[in-house]
């Protein structure tokens, strides 16, 4: 399975089959897009040519006699009507042509191997002698902690006990907080939860 443009795509087979199917789908979309571009260009050029031809139809010269002038006007009118019909037909085809979006190039998977071979062990995040006061109230004083690597750690406590503040201190690298080399943090702020529409897909919501 693969998520692309907020859509879940399902491929059958193993990873090699997935790569072949994804490449085939990309090439098909690219072929359809190029066909669309060529056809649209042809119609636009055809429309411009017919409009130019319609403007070239001149009125009868003054030196013409009445009979010749009437024949010229009749012929010019018929020709102009045909050209206008052709222009209208091309305009209609141009309006009805189904647009095709250019497929995005398939992303290349890149793996950061700077820390390859280095096991995530020991302490990855630690704090020492951390103090926090809020409205002259001591939230914690000379607090210390250590979060070991390779485990799931939960921070629990009553409302207002400083959980969110401590999380922000870790993310922002507050005084007394230390992250092990090569550690990257990710944080979803709880204030953003109120903007979520749980009827929508999470990825679609946060990609927009």
What's the mean per-residue pLDDT of the chain? 75
Find the angle CA(184)-CA(189)-CA(192) to the nearest 5 degrees.
Answer: 140
Residues in contact with 192: Cβ distance below 8 Å, sequence separation at least 6, in sequence order? none
Note the pLDDT of residue 91: 83
Note the pLDDT of residue 64: 56
Task: Classify each residue of 38-68 as buried b or exposed e, where b means 16 or more C-beta atoms within 10 Å of its C-beta.
Answer: eeeeebeebbeebeeebeeeeebeeeeeeee
Q: Which residues are paired to 126 by β-bridges?
A: 146, 178
More confident residue, 71 or 148: 148
Angle between helical axes of 66-96 and 15-56 (0-180°, round to 10): 160
pLDDT category of residue 130 using cuts at 50, 70 and 90: confident
Complete DSSP assignment for 93-131: HHHHSPP-PPPPPPPPP----TTTT----SEEEEEEEEE
**What whole-number distance in Å separates Cα of residue 129 and Cα of residue 174?**
12
pLDDT category of residue 17 using cuts at 50, 70 and 90: confident
At residue 133, the 3 state secondary structure works out as strand
pLDDT digits (tens, 9 = 90+) for 70-98: 665 666 667 777 777 887 888 888 888 88
Say whether pLDDT at 5 is over 60: yes
**What whole-number distance in Å separates Cα of residue 29 and Cα of residue 7?**
16
Residue 162's CB is within 10 A of a number of other CB atoms, namely 19
Q: Which residues are paired to 127 by β-bridges?
A: 145, 177
When pLDDT is averaged across residues 185-203 and rounded to a whole number, the result is 61
When pLDDT is averaged across residues 58-74 and rounded to a whole number, the result is 58
Chain CA centroid to CA 13, Å: 27
When pLDDT is averaged across residues 91-111 and rounded to a whole number, the result is 76
Chain CA centroid to CA 197, Å: 19
More confident residue, 188 or 44: 44
């Amino acid at each position: 399975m693969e998520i692309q443009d907020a859509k879940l795509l399902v491929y059958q087979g193993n990873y090699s089959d997935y790569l072949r199917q994804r490449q085939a789908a990309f090439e098909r979309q690219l072929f359809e897009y190029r066909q669309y571009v060529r056809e649209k260009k042809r119609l636009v050029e055809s429309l411009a040519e017919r409009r130019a031809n319609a403007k070239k139809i001149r009125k009868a010269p003054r030196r013409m006699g009445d009979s010749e002038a009437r024949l010229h006007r009749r012929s010019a009118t018929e020709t102009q009507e045909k050209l206008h019909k052709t222009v209208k037909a091309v305009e209609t085809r141009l309006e009805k042509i189904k647009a095709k979006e250019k497929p995005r190039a398939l992303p290349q998977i890149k793996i950061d191997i700077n820390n390859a071979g280095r096991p995530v062990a020991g302490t990855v995040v630690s704090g020492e002698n951390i103090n926090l006061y809020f409205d002259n109230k001591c939230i914690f004083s000379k607090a210390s902690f250590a979060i070991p690597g390779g485990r799931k750690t939960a921070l629990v406590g009553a409302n207002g006990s400083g959980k969110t503040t401590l999380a922000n201190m870790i993310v922002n690298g507050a005084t007394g907080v230390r992250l092990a080399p090569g550690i990257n943090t990710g944080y979803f702020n709880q204030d953003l939860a109120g903007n979520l529409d749980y009827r929508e897909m999470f990825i679609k919501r946060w990609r927009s």
